[in-house]
Structure 1
């Protein structure tokens, strides 16, 4: 995998971050022109005429002053929009993020080599996890090739947010914390969290400096699966991450007030590379129809999904996979790069 993805030993994944151009502020005229173009298909002649008058008044009046403030803001920031967008579109939203904000989707493996088959969940899961962990190592070593356009390198910062990143609920506004570091930057977490039947397990994926093997991952998953299927279900604390954001924030504070050890456990989940979810259900799926697995990936058992994590890798009983991800610092754009396995 390293040979396939890291063709160049000269470039590092994040080496251009500090030299990328700042986000430009479009001209006021250009922005208003695009606004009118967007409105036109939805307005009749009279409505469109009225809208043009309002836009012109804005352009000649307060719009000029507001645009000047944008220009002043842009002078001191690489990205004048990012903070506003992050807060207004995601972190200030009080709706349950798992259904209202997060994105989810199926893995395409069934089309090539892993058709649905009962009894394959853990074996396939160990292989899938191993490939994901290899990708994590490539990011740590900055050997993932820099994405580029005709004009030069693109911003690779979102790749930092794929692993060891988590959203933290707040009473009025959430926050995002990332524990990921490249090898040159220092230590980065090396454990994953596994959720199964309302319980949370954590194990390290590095042993004596090396990534553990698929058989070793399989042994861990088998132990977890057997334990959870031979004992009563756990408390399902992960379901709280599917709550309305302020309610989840209050519940989290209450848990921490009960016992400081609860904060330690929460931080273990927050800092984990990813959350691996072991589902009992078996969604119907064919190369022509992903609808059921897509729905179940997004709306399945809330006790085995940590809705705040940047990456939940979900395995179903029939060996089918999906992922559910917090979108506040991560977009769907980078996931095709990580369709490994």
Structure 2
């Protein structure tokens, strides 16, 4: 059964009844409102339900659903592509993988392994051999795997476009190259063997890198010996750096054909005097003016500069197309990643400004010590898809330093094509300014890992409760203990049982949870048996919300659809209609409306062999909130937590209180709750 063979069998995303959506919204909001506020929004929602506008908007959605198998799909992507802030840290997802170990001198070998196994997934998807995802016997939509590779969020005004170039074997030709960025230089690398259309092995990928390295080393040694004879007191490190820049720029500029093959013993001719002059003039290295820095800026600024980049010369247009259509983007960077998990997590979203082409759905960074990071554009795919492939690749990568099998002396290796961007003075200045803004933005947020070893999925299964629900209750208790108030909370519910669907919002701060939390934390002690009943009620309420959302009967996406339909209606020639009162009431945002959730959370998978594997995060939705993204093991739970600096959030206290909350829930995990 091929990867996409069941797509046409998936049901359409339903439009819930208007009355059901409004009742669910009122019930959810009530947990955070006073009795008077609840009465007010109940009346406002009731008035809208029975109004002509309510009938018209609901009918508009139902008509749209008759003509489109997923009435929400385009509108949901628009929610992302209308965001104008830089993708990192505001939209992108950053991740590390605990399976990767540091290996001295292992950068190239690790990169070859990682690249090969990511590309093996590309190959399986292209040939329809990647397994279809299912959950509890229900087939899930696989469209996001079709979007994973060769996708690019292209900057436009007023809204970006999602450009997708991947095609399966049945659909036709597809891009077959990746982009490798090394020291700020871009290389286009074809990943297929010409004779049999198979992807290159790790050995072949390694040898291509070594071939390049050896050609450069000859040039470097010649250049360095001449230069030192002229300037013996020159700083060696400075000379090496400058020589490397020149070799990358000059030595390989003669090899602009992607199909050129060279023997490992052959080195292109280089004009050494020109290189020495370049060194003597203290020309900056390639990373200082790397074009990928432009992708880190505000989307409107990047739109303008992308247009400018293309106007400079035709080769820029061709190079830009190569980057944007590439399967993925990989950087080999001149620094060590290390083993400090907190530092790795912080750098996963933003390390150095040139490491990632922000528009790509998959960007992989490989460090000198073989540490690996993955970053993706969350607009195009959900994090769980990126994590699934990341775990697949990491589990197959060798953990030790390795060298490729020896080949004959007459072996030829396909030479990568150097992509050179020509920059005018305006673009050079803009790149330098992008650097300044990037490093300012790195100081705006924080990220922490939290590892709990008290229990995990095994104990929860014995107690017949969902571990995910336990974690959700714990996160809310941690916020309550940290800030003394309840928080509107967002949990991701997958709606991939429907055609081309992605997610719905579970608003987990229920009235049942509030009653349990108050009883647990108040000074007046509640009997353990009564607490257990309140805990069970909170669990059941959350589980019901999750089930409804996964069945397409949540209310947040429906309300988004109603608001979007109203916006479209008001663009017509008729009279402009005011938004329903409950959507403009101050309680709307206070209870999470328009993405104002103090806790934005997601369960991102189970662990293998008690190793967290790929763990990552996106930034918190609100400046004073937290992002929490967790994996569940048999006997442990790991949470990635993010927040914004200079706000009332307190990530250290909150992380400590997550551990407290999970411990506090342990006595309630008895075999009394039925799944």
TM-score over 0.5 for the pair: yes
Q: Deviations over 1:156-178 (max 9, x none)?
A: 01001111111110021110111
Q: Return the alpha-carbon distance in structure 2 between the equivalents of residues 142 and 104 of structure 1.
A: 28
Q: Return the alpha-carbon distance in structure 1 between the equivalents of residues 294 and 73 of structure 2.
A: 28
Q: Return the alpha-carbon distance in structure 1 between the equivalents of residues 8 and 378 of structure 2.
A: 24
Alignment match of 2:46 (pick from 47, 52, 56):
56
Partner of residue 600, structure 2? none
Partner of residue 44, structure 1? 34
Partner of residue 282, structure 1? 336
Partner of residue 190, structure 1? 176
The structural deviation recorded for 1:223 is 5.7
Unmatched segments (≥5 aa) in structure 1: 1-10
CA separation of 1:50 and 1:224: change in aligned 2, threshold 3 A: farther
Alignment match of 2:65 (pick from 61, 74, 87):
74
1:155 counterpart = 2:141: yes
Deviating more after overlay: 31-40 vs 199-208? 31-40
Partner of residue 20, structure 1? 10
Matched residue of 1:248: which SS? helix
CA separation of 1:43 and 1:126: change in aligned 2, threshold 3 A: same
The structural deviation recorded for 1:218 is 1.6
Partner of residue 91, structure 2? 101
Alignment match of 2:323 (pick from 263, 266, 269):
269
Alignment match of 1:213 (pick from 188, 201, 205):
201
Q: Return the alpha-carbon distance in structure 1 between the equivalents of residues 387 and 298 of structure 2.
A: 30
Unmatched segments (≥5 aa) in structure 2: 217-239, 246-284, 397-675
Q: Deviations over 1:277-330 (max 9, x none)?
A: 1223323435xxx32212212111121210000100111222111111011221
Matched residue count: 323
The structural deviation recorded for 1:198 is 1.8
CA separation of 1:44 and 1:223: change in aligned 2, threshold 3 A: farther
Matched residue of 1:304: which SS? coil
TM-score norm. by structure 1 comes to 0.89
Please give the root-mean-square deviation of Cα atoms over the aligned residues, in Å: 1.9
TM-score norm. by structure 2 comes to 0.46
Q: Deviations over 1:216-244 (max 9, x none)?
A: 21233346678696223242100111110
Partner of residue 6, structure 1? none
Alignment match of 1:309 (pick from 360, 383, 400):
360
CA separation of 1:245 and 1:223: change in aligned 2, threshold 3 A: farther
Partner of residue 333, structure 1? 384
Query: Greater CA radius of gyration, 1 or 2?
Result: 2
Alignment match of 2:286 (pick from 233, 236, 249):
233
Residue pair 1:279, 1:301 contacting (<8 A) in 2 also: no
Residue pair 1:201, 1:224 contacting (<8 A) in 2 also: no
Alignment match of 2:373 (pick from 322, 328, 341):
322
Q: Return the alpha-carbon distance in structure 2 between the equivalents of residues 171 and 284 of structure 1.
A: 40
Q: Return the alpha-carbon distance in structure 2 between the equivalents of residues 275 and 132 of structure 1.
A: 11
Q: Return the alpha-carbon distance in structure 1 between the equivalents of residues 208 and 88 of structure 2.
A: 28
Partner of residue 56, structure 2? 65
Partner of residue 292, structure 1? 343
CA separation of 1:327 and 1:224: change in aligned 2, threshold 3 A: farther
The structural deviation recorded for 1:138 is 0.6
The structural deviation recorded for 1:186 is 1.3
The structural deviation recorded for 1:38 is 2.5
The structural deviation recorded for 1:181 is 0.9
Matched residue of 1:93: which SS? coil
Q: Return the alpha-carbon distance in structure 2 between the equivalents of residues 53 and 224 of structure 1.
A: 71
Q: Return the alpha-carbon distance in structure 2 between the equivalents of residues 328 and 318 of structure 1.
A: 31
Q: Return the alpha-carbon distance in structure 2 between the equivalents of residues 266 and 224 of structure 1.
A: 23
CA separation of 1:207 and 1:119: change in aligned 2, threshold 3 A: same
Residue pair 1:168, 1:175 contacting (<8 A) in 2 also: yes
Partner of residue 112, structure 2? 126
The structural deviation recorded for 1:101 is 0.8
Residue pair 2:338, 2:369 contacting (<8 A) in 1 also: no
